[in-house]
Amino acid sequence: MKLLKTIRLSLLTMVSIGTYAQELDANLQIRPRYEYRNGFKSLIPKGEDAASFISQRSRINFNYKQDKLKAKLTLQNVRTWGDVATTIQADKNGIALFEAWAQYDFDANWSARLGRQVISYDNQRIFGEIDWAQQGQSHDAAVITFHPKNHQLDLGFALNADKENLLDPKTAYTTNYKSLQYAWYHTQFSKLNMSLLLLNTGYEFEKSIGNLEVDCKQTFGTYLTFKDKKWDTNLGLYGQTGKSNDKSVSAWYAGANLGYAVTNTFKASLGYEYLSGKDQDDASVKIKSFNPIFGTNHGFNGFMDYFYVGNHLNSVGLQDAYLKLNYTQNKWQFNVIPHVFCAPNTVLDATNKKMDCYLGTELDFTAGYTIQKDIVASAGYSQMFGSGTLERIKNVADASNTNNWVWAMVSFSPRLFSLK
């Protein structure tokens, strides 16, 4: 406590020296989460046992503002309880830089932000923070924003390298992309909100020994939302074209959701998503499977992450029909979400015969309780009822095993101090 008071006094002294109005606030997040994984991401093989562990995110956020200047610095440590010995001198993962950016507001309409930052838009289907993952997702980028009333246009740019090279490297850049450019536009017409996205991502690959090339893939589309009294709906449509690893890309996505507030505390929603894929008997080299790129994929297609969370890319695609029931009362929140999954493209068995498209049904249940404004407890249970077709997709022999996932998490997010 004495140390904290000393830090606050020192920061207050530094802020008071400036000639401009300054603001500085700091907040902390400690987020331990228990998980029991018994068929998480894929059907559990026969004879294998479930895994259980506790992971933890520890973050500290500093937000600074002075006149037209804004800045943010976020440091974090992500660990699994027990991954380092109790007497070790160095942490396994150390401290990572999650965000470190500065923003200058040229006037009321124009601003520019440079540095490590979260890029998140709309329902996070294409660009998202992936906050469920303890490490999250952020980009080294420059973003220019034009935001007059009822309009916003963001132009983003990124260029990545593995180090300060003297010569052009002879091996491919190994992170998720080499370069990025995008334009995101949002506007509002009465009760209708519309967003348009055009994204170009360049991926480096080795075409031949010592010969590196960059293929560019384009993702483009729109996201629409409408809300009127008790009804709300959204629609997302995206296409992908360009090239990836010297192969042409032609893929698309469609997703829609219709919600109705039955009462002030109970809401029901129906949704459907289609992600294009490729028949397993399709001999062409063209990539026809849609890739959500930087989306928060854990928030879609079931919480057990069987699809598009580090898996299922360049596969047969996915159809997901789901119902979401939400009940909120005082400090409690409950959700029940059943999903029915089907493959929109041909899946072949071991004898090259076409299989049924039904992949399985997943049932997700979550509950949350706000203990106080900066302490939230939540938990969930999910179970996958897989089919023989899902066995084939996941290359696991027996879907009759119980496949379930249990988690419980507490998030502490206190504000440490705020200085003006």
Q: Is residue 349 part of a domain?
A: yes
Q: Is residue 10 part of a domain?
A: no
Nearest-CA neighbor of 34 among 77, 80, 78?
Answer: 80
152, 186 contact by CB (below 8 A):
yes
Name the least confident of 5-14, 94-103, 272-281.
Answer: 5-14
Q: Say which DSSP state 45 is in.
A: P
User: Average pLDDT for residues 95-120, to the nearest whole number?
Assistant: 97
pLDDT-derived band at 375, boundaries 50, 70, 90:
very high
234, 259 contact by CB (below 8 A):
no
Place of tokens 């042409």: 248
Q: Is the dihedral of CA 199, 98, 366, 384 positive or negative?
A: positive
Phi, psi of 171 (to 5 degrees): -120, 150
pLDDT of residue 17: 47
3-state secondary structure of 333: strand
Q: Is residue 131 part of a domain?
A: yes
Angle, alpha carbons 335-336-339 (nearest 5°): 130
Q: Is residue 18 part of a domain?
A: no
Residue 341 and residue 355: Cα distance in Å, rounded?
14
Run of H or E including 362: strand 358-372
Residue range(s) defining the domain that contains residue 180: 26-419
Residue 376 and residue 221: Cα distance in Å, rounded?
35
Please give the tally of structural domains in the chain. 1
Q: How many CA atoms lie within 13 A of 52 on its CB side?
A: 7
Name the least confident of 142-156, 201-215, 365-379.
Answer: 201-215
Q: Is residue 21 part of a domain?
A: no
Q: Is residue 246 part of a domain?
A: yes
pLDDT tens digits, one per residue of 120-152: 999 999 999 999 999 999 999 999 999 999 999
Q: Is residue 247 part of a domain?
A: yes
CATH of residue 358's domain is 2.40.160.100
Residue 20 and residue 43: Cα distance in Å, rounded?
59
pLDDT-derived band at 3, boundaries 50, 70, 90:
very low
Q: Is residue 347 part of a domain?
A: yes
